[in-house]
Structure 1
């Protein structure tokens, strides 16, 4: 029998002495233990527990889906909705509510909130996530510990399916009338269809054991042919599968919906341009991310341009005077290198900053400076990638969280101990490690055990006993989700699209250096999709005029904001889509020069960078469209405003090198 797991540390697991301090602040006397084998290639890391102490609604054997579109329903006893891309679903212990979000725009906000239109009461007192795969999840509803029914939801599938595990009755909305396939009801101006093999008496639906109910909403303007296709496609869903390939300059994705051979209907996001094995519908589904196309079929394929991670700047455009200027600044920056950040985010940024200095010194022929910064990097990497690091200290190390099932870098920051932003933090580290290990294979062998575990934490190609599959990356959306437990009413979210791109670039560099061809291909597939969606939904999105901005700061499943979590200044909103502005970022941002220029104008309308957060990255973006203006802005930039993940020498080389 499965049970809802309460996330308290089990008595048989000893809290890690170096990573968890006693409440009175004194030294722990506990002996550290090790986690179960993290992966076949990973070291046994010390075990810790994080601050999350709520309930996790998963069945035995199902890993908690942190950073997932399903996270709100799994970690939220407050009944927060999940968004399938078409419908929104609010699961409750005794039922669920369905809705068909309708986007509304206002200044800086595009809202597609969940409407609790259709309430289905179920004979249950709790639920657990019983099954999860690439695009779908099945929740088992239970009463007194016995399963009474199962609800299946899937991304890109415009239905919600319910199967009764025992005979019972469900009350449908008061406006329900008999209709082809079962019944329909108009709620909130939207027609919801109920396709069932049960018996309808008034508004009561009686289901036999094994009986099914599939619900969908009719899009506005649906033709008779559209309605017929949606009705025929309202069939149970057993699961989904995702296949991908990177070849001939394209990253191709194939999504398969297992309906046992029965026809169904799938929805496509604007960036997908999906082709299916069926026919397109005339009607579309409104969403905050644009109208979603609908088509019949159970398999959908799309592709986006592929790209390579680009670790080093091209210094070929620098003249002798510019090389001398950058070299002088580089010497000062190398002399000032310090690894003084204890937490996983800022330490990661410092490591990637140092890798940029290392590559810059190498490119300029400054061998002494390159050797000096490499030596310091290795000293820092020795700490972070020491399997026993957290057994002896409380920072600069990784431990395995046996509650949320993954690695936590100590010290945590920005909620990383609740699994926020892991791909941002660890992407910076993998990037730096990949740069050094590419030229020094001995470092790949030295750091492989922990580095592979770090890579699997954010992007395991398959679910293991320790990690979920591709934790941070959403195969349907084509981008990552940053919130671990997603305690929000608008679904999961991601703020820094550029740091997500950086994560997969860093993962690809590490996979190349360590010789993991399968991980390298997956990383490039993720990089291609994250790049395409960064442009489509953050940098150069199509937005209603009422939104009032040309770019987006935070994309949620059910909302879009011109905002950040840390600073309302437009320079911060723009800058967080640019950081850390590696050559990889320059390559894809250069594809949208008008959008990039609009972002720069929004961030620095008067051309004066002084006092603006993250403005050094905005100057680098300006260099992609107007190098002369960027150079003028650079001259006005106070040195203290250079971000701690950047350096004046790298910034200068980037700007001058765009001529």
Structure 2
């Protein structure tokens, strides 16, 4: 299958020489507290890492002071002691549904059970609304074990330990962007390879489902039985179709054990740069790059001729132990530029704004709709200030502060179960009360909390006195979704996947297609809000990380959701939900094309214009698909489509706006902000 790339210049690779919904009652914490970081982390739910920084220790101590809650998830969590449950991760399905669901490394897919390791190379298939790359159980290895648990996890890799009773018998290591699966025999054991196995260079090979799988090991092979002594390893990979002799040599040489991975990031000179490192003890391996990484990709080895087709496009392969790439920096823009509005337009927006201000309420009890109300109010506050409604802006600020005081009170969940944050000591993170859309199972935290942080960042950016007032909980909210390092209370960058370059929204991923994300735009909004808060708070490290995440989230939103290059036969111009194992033109809530497209636009902050407007032809195709004929009447989330139209044709957007019933404006939007946005794009 080929993925034609006709709308953009061909990608090039640069090779560098090697160089350096049931809710348990909230409970208050025990009286007193502790200054001991390890004890604070234990109280918060998991053991603290040995190299806990002072900042992480302080975060853990603050988390330990929050009231606690236990959400509805009651299933098995297959992690070793001291390993934080990796919600919102590529590893999540194997941890929260042992022996049930596959995980996807971006190259191979794997299904682990207590006594088997299943592997396959997904083969993409396209229909009108779905690109499917399901897990194929091509290789199934029987293991001398009866259970497994996640023993180790880092930036891109994880190791699962298999046990027979209490005896550790073997370890499976997988990594994102690594085309291998490695198995270490801890005890001497026999492994039966597939029936089609034949001896081959490096060990053995078998053709299954039209794909050649290679089994690389020094252990002796008798027929199809591999005799692994204690300490021996078996590394499996799928040979890409069309591999040259040099490709095969590189892949065989790179089939070595993986000790771990690391990621470095930087934002400088207008670019956000990411470097992946794979620890193989210095031996070159092979790494894979996604389509959006390839134009600027640099590696410390040779780019292979062969590529691997996936649901997202062809992966490039390169030998070496590291790979770097960059995407353009995206600067958060908190408010609209109204300088180009005419006097009549300013008057029209002002009149609409007065009506919207009079109707402001904060009646949502859950963390999602309350967050949307806060961000909506922040946009109205900024409009009021720029249009000279100073008294109205001050009154709205007081309303917002009263709402923020409730949400960001450290003891807010003592005695109540709404408009407050509690610490879930099972899944390990903050839950906003009341939960919604499964947020008590850690779904969509970055969506919910991003709206809140946006509003908080707007106010604190203008009024630094608010930082001290809200930081005790706001910093915990920030660490819940984007901790810059692992602590006892929070995993590192819970929501954001460094290799994919975007976030995953499902907390426990109860699906057969891996994790998923629907609203790419709310994910961009999350890192916009986090940047605004971190900058207001003077947290330079968090702000730099947030800007790096923002740049990557926006780049991948355009590449894989908004303006994707899709295979022939896919009948829509965009993608509504990206999974690890498939891509849909769909939503979880409404099949109308306006909803599928609108969920990639919400909440249309001023930052949205900077990245969504970068490809006007693709954006216009979405508008035409969502609102054929230009009539927005009766379509869900269509107010955001009107705003997208303003980025390509402001006059057409004004015509659509005139036909838009006021009751169709989303509850996270307002007629005055929508109108100002359209006018500001002229």
Structure 2 CA distance, aligned partners of 1:292 and 1:115?
18
- Pair 1:86-2:90 in alignment: no
Match of 1:313 in 2: 336
In the other structure, the counterpart of 2:87 is: 66
Structure 1: distance between partners of 2:98 and 2:144: 18
Contact 2:101-2:512 within 8 A present in 1 as well: yes
Residues 249 and 306 in structure 1, CA contact (< 8 A), matched pair in contact too:
yes
Structure 2 Cα separation of the partners of residues 584 and 33 of structure 1: 43
Farther off after superposition, 76-85 or 281-290 = 76-85
Distance in 1, Cα, partners of 2:620 & 2:195: 53
**Structure 1 SS opposite 2:262:** strand
Are positions 1:47 and 2:68 aligned together? Answer: yes
Deviates more, 1:351-360 or 1:70-79: 70-79
TM (norm. structure 2) is 0.92
Cα distance in 2 for partners of 1:408, 1:225 equals 51
Matched residues in 1 for 2:124 and 2:434: separation? 40
Q: CA deviation at 1:78?
A: 4.5
Q: Is the 8 A contact 1:334 1:373 kept in 2?
A: yes
Deviations along 1:87-140, one digit per CA (max 9) or x if unpaired, are 000011111100001100001000000000000000000000000000000000
* Aligned match of 2:24: 20
For 1:651, the equivalent position in structure 2 comes to: 674
After TM superposition, list the pairs within 5 Å mapping 1:131-210 onto structure 2: 131-210=152-231
Alignment of 1:526-537 (within 5 A): 526-537=549-560
Q: Partner residue of 1:448? A: 471
- Return closer, same or farther for 1:263/1:73 CA change in 2, 3 Å cut-off: same
| 2:50 corresponding residue in structure 1 | none
Which of these residues, 520, 523, 529, is aligned with residue 497 of structure 1?
520
1:578, CA displacement in angstroms?
0.2
Q: Are 2:223 and 1:219 equivalent residues in the alignment? A: no
Q: Report if aligned partners of 1:109, 1:559 keep a CA contact under 8 Å in 2.
A: yes
Instruction: Give a deviation string over 1:604-642, Cα, whole Å, max 9, x none.
Output: 011111100000000000000000010000001110100
2:267 counterpart of 1:246? yes
Please state how far the C-alpha of 1:79 moved relative to its aligned partner: 2.0
Distance 2:476 2:680 in 1: 37
Tell me the equivalent position of 2:585.
562
The CA distance in 1 between the partners of 2:132 and 2:471, in whole Å, is: 44
Matched, 1:585 2:633: no
Distance 1:587 1:579 in 2: 14
**Aligned-partner Cα distance in 2 for 1:442–1:404:** 33
Residue of structure 2 equivalent to 1:11: none
Partners in 1 of 2:357 and 2:566 — Cα distance? Answer: 43
**Conservation of the 8 A alpha-carbon contact between 2:169 and 2:187:** yes
- CA distance, structure 2, for counterparts of residue 77 and residue 95 of structure 1: 12
Matches within 5 A, 1:594-633: 594-633=617-656
Q: Deviations over 1:554-580 (max 9, x none)?
A: 000110000000000000000000000
User: 1:459 and 2:463 equivalent?
Assistant: no
1:31 and 1:481, CA in 2 relative to 1: closer, same or farther beyond 3 A? closer
Structure 2 residue ranges without an equivalent (≥5): 1-21, 34-39, 45-55
Of 399, 405, 408, which aligns to 1:385?
A: 408
Shift of 1:32: 5.7
User: The residue matched to 1:488 in structure 2 has which SS?
Assistant: coil
> Is the Cα contact below 8 Å between 2:23 and 2:71 reproduced in 1?
no
Output one character per residue of 1:237-274: Cα deviation in whole Å (capped at 9) or x when no partner: 00000001000000000000000010110000000022
The 3-state SS of whatever aligns with 1:400 is strand
Q: Would the aligned equivalents of 1:19 and 1:390 in 2 still touch at CA under 8 Å?
A: no
Q: Which residue of 1 aligns with 2:389?
A: 366
Aligned-pair CA distance for 1:33: 4.6
Alignment: residue pair count:
635
Give the drift of 1:31: 6.2
CA contact 1:214–1:235 (8 Å) conserved in 2: yes
Rounded to whole Å, the distance in 2 between the matches of 1:91 and 1:621 is: 44
Q: Is the 8 A contact 1:234 1:264 kept in 2?
A: yes
**What SS class does the counterpart of residue 657 from structure 2 fall into?**
helix
Q: Is the 8 A contact 1:32 1:391 kept in 2?
A: no
Partner SS, residue 271 of structure 1 = helix
Q: CA deviation at 1:289?
A: 0.2
SS at match of 1:149: strand
Shift of 1:407: 0.2
Alpha-carbon distance in 2 for matches of 1:89, 1:33: 43
User: Does the residue aligned with 1:198 lie in a helix, a strand or coil?
Assistant: coil
The residue number in structure 2 matching 1:14 is none
Q: In structure 1, how many angstroms separate the alpha carbons of the residues matched to 2:112 and 2:447?
A: 30
Alignment correspondent of 1:105? 126
**Which residue of the partner structure matches residue 479 of structure 1?**
502
Secondary structure of the equivalent of 1:261?
Answer: coil
| 1:7 alignment counterpart | none
Asked whether 1:293 is paired with 2:316, we answer yes
The 5 A counterparts of 1:273-288 are 273=294, 274-288=297-311
Contact 2:98–2:112 (8 Å) recurs in 1:
no
**How far apart are residue 550 of structure 1 and its match?**
1.0
User: Contact 2:267–2:329 at 8 Å: present in 1 too?
Assistant: yes
Counterpart position of 1:576: 599
SS in structure 2 at match of 1:382: helix
> Structure 1 regions of 5+ residues with no counterpart?
1-17, 22-27
Q: Distance in 1 between matches of 2:524 and 2:518?
A: 12
